[in-house]
Amino acid sequence: MTDQQHLEALTDIKRMMERSSRFISLSGLSGISAGICGLIGAFIANMWLNEYYFRWNTTGVHNHEDFIVLKYRLIVLGFSVLAAALIAGTFFTWRKARKNNLPIWDLTSRKVLINTAIPLAAGGAFIAGLLFNHLEGLIAPTCLVFYGLAIINASKYTLPDVRYLGICEVVLGILNLFYLNYGLYFWAIGFGLLHIIYGTLMWWKYERKGTV
Amino acid sequence: MNPIGNLNKIFESRIRLGVMSVLMVNEEVNFNDLKQMLEVTDGNLASHLNTLEENGYLKVHKGFIGRKTNTTYAITAAGEKAFKGHIAALEHMIKFTK
């Protein structure tokens, strides 16, 4: 073997180790699109909440039925935002993977998914418990904390920068616990603004030049 | 010590080198994932995996997912040692011929 071949072998080893341990196709545009979905969701939720409080203030009596309707509408809205963010996010990541000629569904993307899903499922069950016990005020901070932990967990298998986004989400969630009345604002910052900032930074860092 | 002597003949194949690289950073990988990572055919990969197993560098675990077989591979302590030795030898040679 010649020197050139030795060097090639070492480069090959490094490339295979990286490619099989981290999912690098995660696009910054996915973050931005998820953030926009989050902001639109928060805007609609804010509108509905204002309507609800406006009616309460004008009639002067609390209508329990209104509250139930609001609650279910918000739950449906939450799931719709999640679905929209996932679809948009997957699209941009799929596009980046295709441009770089990498598979979107492989060992690494599966690891990212599983490691995000486990804390998220725990969070989902936890929130179901909160709803059951009529602790609606705790939902926004719980979403943020569990989501943050989920992506910190997944950051081991994708771009390491995701870790910082996760830490910010957790901190924001905990802060929210001390200002419970502002849940929606914290939610909008965490799921909207932070995603947009993170996505823009990632796009700038990894995708600005050439490869999508 | 002669560094060329440390270069492992078994790792001269790019596919075997690839398998070892993937298994160094992943606890356990199944056949299909290895095939996708290395972009090789079934038969080709199977024969290289056999060689590595015969040399005691791989642990093979045959399991099932439902009714489908799911064979997973992991690196052994001997495999890890041999692979690290091979990398060290490669680096050594590059350094000394520069």
Provide the domain count of chain A.
Answer: 1
B14 touches A at CB < 8 Å: yes
Give A14's contacts in chain B (Cβ within 8 Å).
21
Across the A:B interface, residue pairs with CB atoms under 8 Å apart total: 53
- The closest CB to that of B94, out of A3, A17, A19, belongs to A3
Q: Which residue has the tokens 């994932």?
A: B33
pLDDT in tens, B43-58: 999 999 999 999 999 9
pTM: 0.86
Q: Is A147 contained in some domain?
A: yes
Task: Tell which CATH classification among 1.10.3720.10, 3.50.50.60, 3.30.300.30, 1.10.10.10 matches the domain B3-97.
Answer: 1.10.10.10
> Is B35's pLDDT higher than 60?
yes
**A3/B22 Cβ within 8 A:** no
Contacts of A110 (CB under 8 A, 6+ apart): none
The upper half-sphere exposure of residue A205, i.e. CA atoms within 13 Å in the direction of its Cβ, equals 14
Closest to B85 measured CA to CA, from B58, B57, B66:
B57
Q: Is A13 contained in some domain?
A: no
- The size of chain B, in residues, is 98
| Complex ipTM value | 0.84
**A13/B26 Cβ within 8 A:** no
Please give the pLDDT value at position B4: 60
CB count within 10 Å of CB B81 equals 12
B22 touches A at CB < 8 Å: yes
Provide block-wise average pLDDT over 10 residues at a time, chain A (212 residues): 83 92 94 97 96 90 88 94 96 93 90 96 97 94 97 95 97 97 96 97 88 48
Mutation for testing the A interface, residue in B22, B30, B92 having most A CBs under 10 Å: B22
Please give the pLDDT value at position A196: 98
Q: Is A45 contained in some domain?
A: yes
Q: Where are the beta strands (DSSP E) in A1-133?
A: none
Range(s) of the domain holding residue A170:
24-207
- The size of chain A, in residues, is 212
If you count DSSP H runs as helices and E runs as strands, how many of each does chain B have, helices first?
5, 3
Phi, psi of A60 (to 5 degrees): 80, -10
Mean pLDDT of all residues belonging to chain B? 90
Q: Is A46 contained in some domain?
A: yes
Q: For residue B1, what pLDDT band results from cuts at 50, 70 and 90? A: very low
Q: How far is B89 from chain A (nearest CA, A)?
A: 9
Q: Which residue has the tokens 């639109």?
A: A40
Give A21's contacts in chain B (Cβ within 8 Å).
25-26
> Is B2's pLDDT higher than 60?
no
Residue boundaries of the structural domains of chain B: 3-97
- The closest CB to that of A16, out of B21, B36, B90, belongs to B21
Give A107's contacts in chain B (Cβ within 8 Å).
26, 29, 33, 36-37
Closest alpha carbon within chain A to B93: A3
What crossing angle do the helices spanning A107-132 and A139-154 adopt, rounded to 10°? 160
Closest alpha carbon within chain A to B19: A16
Q: Where are the beta strands (DSSP E) in chain B?
A: 29-30, 58-65, 68-75
B24 touches A at CB < 8 Å: yes
Longest Cα–Cα distance in chain B: 55
Report yes or no: A150 and A120 within 8 Å, Cβ to Cβ.
yes
Taking only Cα atoms into account, the Rg of chain B, rounded to an integer number of angstroms, comes to 15
Give A1's contacts in chain B (Cβ within 8 Å).
7, 12
Please give the pLDDT value at position A62: 83
**A6/B21 Cβ within 8 A:** no
B46 touches A at CB < 8 Å: no
* Average confidence (pLDDT) over B72-77: 96
**How many whole angstroms separate alpha carbon A187 and alpha carbon A3?**
56
Give A103's contacts in chain B (Cβ within 8 Å).
36
The terminus-to-terminus CA distance of chain B in angstroms comes to 19
**How many whole angstroms separate alpha carbon A55 and alpha carbon B97?**
82
**A1/B21 Cβ within 8 A:** no
The kind and range of the H/E element at A166 are: helix A162-178
Contacts of B46 (CB under 8 A, 6+ apart): B31
